[in-house]
A = this chain, B = another copy of it.
């Protein structure tokens, strides 16, 4: 078995990249970073981090794990610079388009896709923290079970996240429903509320405040995230349109909303009442390990530890 890769290079030092850099250092890793944003670079340097140019960061990374933490549109230019054999992962909120970009622009790199399910409505280096990933789900989208996957899993676990393995397609469909659609719905709700004028705003309280919170996020970041997952998001929006239209029809015709409200209550319960989890192990050196990992994620399970090549997991 190959030695575990301990050094971490982070490219892009916004909320997520900056938090990976801090959390990896806090976990005892040797870290360095690079960013096109001069302001974030200066702030990171002022906090004692080793920040260099993108080219230098990559040139140092032959024996490191390189975390791509730039926005999706910046990925192609960055990937073209990546040397053959570089160990890559990423933290982008969509996975299908990232896998496509890696295959196209850095086909000789080694790649496991990643997406930590953590964030705030703030952005930039200043918004980050070493504890951002504590107890968060960290999606990985491996194409094979190998030592590079083990290194990516080990990094996520060191950052105090748990690891949810799946395919790029299943990831993108799931996040369309639970991350991107909520931003669309929040935007629609905020607009309809504001259309009600000053009286409506003066009366708005808990339910409107909760339902519109993420509409306070920076619009350009929300757009990049949602537009980058167009195909899966269209399906989720169609599902919402169908259900909202059905609610409208029922309210208009019978005056009743039972089906809508009860289905929503059950859906909320599915979130709150997470199933009991059973510990299992998966030997990542065995044939079928990749399928076992994907099956674990599909069923709502996760990897919570890694002992050599033995993944400690919880399934439901």
Contacts and interface: CB of A to CB of B under 8 A. Distances in A.
A214 B203 contact: no
A191 B251 contact: no
B248 A238 contact: yes
Given A184-B247, A196-B178, A203-B175, A213 B210 contact: yes
A297 B241 CA distance: 34
Given A208-B271, A243-B192, A302 B202 contact: yes
Interface string A246-283: 01100110011110111111111111101100000000
A222 to B, nearest CB: 5
Given A118-B205, A239-B192, A298 B244 contact: no
Interface string A221-244: 011001100100110111111011
A190 interface: yes
Interface in A177-211: 177-179, 181-211
Contacts of A239: 192, 195
A187 B302 CA distance: 27
A99 to B, nearest CB: 17
Interface string A119-151: 110000000000000001101000000000000
A193 B243 CA distance: 12
Contacts of A166: 199
Sort chain A's interface into a size bin: 35 or more
Given A204-B271, A214-B206, A230-B251, A256 B178 contact: no
A76 interface: no
A34 interface: no
**Copies of this chain:** 2
Contacts of A248: 234, 237-238, 241
A56 to B, nearest CB: 35
A274 B182 contact: no
A178 B200 contact: yes
A174 to B, nearest CB: 4
Contacts of A175: 203
A243 B213 CA distance: 18
Contacts of A207: 178-179, 182-183, 186, 213-214
Given A201-B300, A255-B227, A272 B182 contact: no
24 contacts: A137-B202, A139-B203, A174-B199, A177-B192, A178-B196, A178-B200, A179-B205, A179-B208, A186-B210, A191-B243, A191-B263, A194-B267, A194-B270, A197-B298, A198-B300, A199-B297, A202-B274, A211-B211, A216-B272, A223-B261, A230-B255, A237-B247, A237-B248, A241-B241
A-B pairs, top 4 by smallest CB distance, nearest first, are A187-B264, A198-B300, A190-B267, A194-B267
Interface of A: 117-120, 136-137, 139, 164, 166, 170-171, 173-175, 177-179, 181-217, 219, 222-223, 226-227, 230, 233-234, 236-241, 243-245, 247-248, 251-252, 255-258, 260-272, 274-275, 297-302, 316
